[in-house]
Each structure stands twice: as structure tokens, then as C-alpha cells.
Structure 1
Amino acid sequence: MIKLYYHPSPNPAKVALFLEEAGLPYEVVPVDTRKGEQHAPEFRAINPNAKTPALVDGDAVVFDSNAILLYLAEKTGQFLPEDTPAARGAMHSWLMFVATGIGPYSGQAVHFRHFAPEPKDYAVNRYDFEAWRHWTILDERLAGRRYMLGDTYTLVDMAVWGWARAVPRVLDAGAWEKLPNVKRLLDEINARPAAQRAEALAKRHAFKSDFDDEARRALFPQNARLQAGAGGA
């Protein structure tokens, strides 16, 4: 059976959505990142990057959420566009746009706005600007299209959904007024039974919610280097 190494955050959520949509049996293996379980040797043997999600399917080990989506789509033949050069070119382009743009800039926007120490004006401005720029590009893409690749619901929409759920936290509380097409897509996917089952996973497992010193050490290990430097001074 497929094992999904899971935490209730955007990237694992989109993989859970695919598994639910495809009707694939799978086992959830919780990885509590605020407790530092992603740094455990047994997890790093599966995902050297020490990030969730990861997926084990027999002899296949796949990490990076977008690689997992592609793997599952190719395995099942589901949620792919038509097999033409134009359609597959669009699929790969927009999937990688989410992978290299939406995800990283959204994550950094959240980090610098909510967690980074002062001074942080420059970093907040940079990542807020880039996050808005990327989400605006997606909104423009969805203008006049039901889904990212046209009339067909695909893995690209699932990749967008994972992060779209966090848009008010990534950008601001009024973001949906400026991103109506992304909001329309989010609402449509949220209404799907598979999305509701994927969301429910977070409530089936106990994950740490406190953001204390243990969580800071687990999520921001780079800070240890700053503390070591301060101690040395």
C-alpha cells in the first residue's frame, strides 16, 4: 500500500487530494514538523531534504510534492491533460510555475511576515511583492478558463489548491478581492468530496500547534548558526 508521509500544510495537502480523487488506498504516516520529526534519520532516508511530503509506493520513493503529483498521474493515467505536445507543455510549465514560484515565494512571504526577527522590512517587501506577482499571474491565467489547463480538472489544479487555501495568510485578508479567479477555483475544488476528505486528515492525527522554542528549532534550524555566532562573540 502507498504510504504518504504527511503534515497538514500546503504541499502534503495537494498530494492527499490527488490520492483521494484517484481513489487509491493509502496509509498516512504523520510527520510532526514542529516536533522536528522531519529531521529524524528514518525520515531523511526517505526524503533527504527533510521536508513533507514523501511517498513510498513499493520500491518507488518519491519526494517533492510536485514530483509526487506527476508520479501518481502517470501511475494511474488520471488527471492528466490530453496527450498532445501543446497540452503537456502547458501542464509541465504551470506545474513548475507552482513548484518554483507559488510555493517558495508564498512560503517565504509567510516566514518573513510572521516569524522572522526584526529588521525585516526589505525581506517582507521583496517576498510580498513576488508572492502577489505570482498569484496575479495565476489569476490572469484562470480568467476565461474553468481550470488551469482549460476545461479539464488536472493535477495542476490540485497543486494550486494546496497553496490557494493559505492565500489570506500569504498575502492579506483582502486578497480574494484582487484574485477572484483563483478564489473561484478554490471554492469549486473545496466543494469536491475528495477535497473535504483530504482536509479531514488534519483532524485525524494529533499535530503540535504550539509555536515554542522546540518548534522554532525544528522549523528554523538556521537560527542555531546565528546563536552560535553570538555566543562566540
Structure 2
Amino acid sequence: MYKVYGVLASRAFRVMWLLDELGEPYELIRAAAHSPDIQGVNPGGKIPALQDGDDIITDSTAIMTYLADKHGKFTFPAGTIARARQDALTNLLLDEFDSVLWTASRMTGLLPEEYRVPTVVPALHYEFERNLNKLADRFEGPFLMGETMTIADILAVHCLNWATIAKFPVTNETLRAYARELSQRPAYIRARQTGM
């Protein structure tokens, strides 16, 4: 059985949601970032981490890619044009959504106070909304890439929900509806319940 190290209100949720979608059992080891519990598994102190047997994988996107490839679901086959498009979309989401949200979190509370620059947050809001509208132009529906749900959808919905909690301007109704709908999936709900 897989072991997931992390907490619900973190990128570990992406891994938990995917495992629930895959129907794979896992044990959640509640470990906060930089806690002794995670540093025993990931010396860098970051969450999530996935334990598969004796092997440890870190970084939520690397973990999701590994699981999707291993189980042959929520991904297109490696070496295909569809997979290249999926990977491009995944990297776009990391660059233009996840990194913007993470920077805002650091500038408003995670960094030591002397290094915070909260005045940058309005620029991050602007950038996020601009990126959101560009993503909406590429949205095929019902999932990002049409009829097939991939790990890019899990990443996108996690970022959209994170943005809503962080009071970012999630004004595009198409993507708001998309995030609401995917947040009602049974696997999403099970993962949230597991993490509570």
C-alpha cells in the first residue's frame, strides 16, 4: 500500500485525489512541511512525499506522473502527441498558476516578516487572472483536453480552489464551473474526508 506524507491543505491533496481516482489504497501520514516526520523521508522538508515499497518520490507533479504512468490512467501514453500536449499544459499550470499562488503565500505569511513584500500581491492577482483567461481559451471541455481527465485537471482544479481560498480573482465562469464540477467527484470528496 502506498504511503502519502503531507496534510490536506497542501499539494499532498493532489496525490490523495489521484490515488482515490485510481482506486488505489493508501495510508496518509500526517506530516507538516519541515516537521521531523517529513524530514525523515525527505531531507528537504517539503511535502508531499510518496512511499512505494522502499522507494520515496517527492514533488506532487512527479508523484502524479509516476502514478498515472504506472497505472495507465489519467494520462496519455508517453511518446504521443497527446502526452506532449498534456505535459505542456501541466508545465503551464505550474508556471502560470501554482508559482503565482505560491509566491503570494510566501509574500503574505510564509517568509520571515523582513522578507515579505505584500505590495506585490495585486500584481500577482493581475497575472493570475490574465493567465486564467488564456487557459479558458484553451479549455476543451468537459476536461482541459476534452473527454479525457488527466493529472493536468487535478493540478488545475487544485490551483483554482487554492486561488479561491486565497481570495484571488477567479472570475472566468467557465473555469469556475469546471472547478465546481470536478470538486464534486466522489474521489475528490473521499480524499478530502481522508485528510480531515
TM normalised by structure 2 equals 0.86
Larger Rg: 1
SS at match of 1:146: coil
The C-alpha deviation readout for 1:22-80, integer Å capped at 9, x for no partner, is: 010111100134xxxx242x523422331211101013211000000000001101111
Measure, in 2, the Cα distance between the counterparts of 1:115 and 1:47. 20
Aligned with residue 163 of structure 1, among 123, 140, 159: 159
Residue of structure 1 equivalent to 2:122 = 125
Tell me which of the two structures has the higher relative contact order, counting C-alpha pairs closer than 8 angstroms and 6 or more residues apart.
1
**Letter matched to residue 48 of structure 1:** P
**Letter matched to residue 68 of structure 1:** I
1:149 equivalenced with 2:156 (yes/no): no
Q: How many residues align?
A: 194
Measure, in 2, the Cα distance between the counterparts of 1:57 and 1:6. 15
Measure, in 2, the Cα distance between the counterparts of 1:180 and 1:82. 31
Measure, in 2, the Cα distance between the counterparts of 1:91 and 1:59. 29
Measure, in 2, the Cα distance between the counterparts of 1:45 and 1:114. 26
Gaps of 5+ in 1: 204-233
Alignment RMSD (CA, Å)? 2.4
1:5 equivalenced with 2:35 (yes/no): no
Gaps of 5+ in 2: none
TM normalised by structure 1 equals 0.74
The C-alpha deviation readout for 1:77-96, integer Å capped at 9, x for no partner, is: 11113666320111111112
Aligned structure 1 segments of 4 or more residues deviating by more than 6 angstroms: none
- After superposing the two structures, state which structure 1 stretch, 61-70 or 44-53, moved more: 44-53
Aligned-pair identity (%): 25
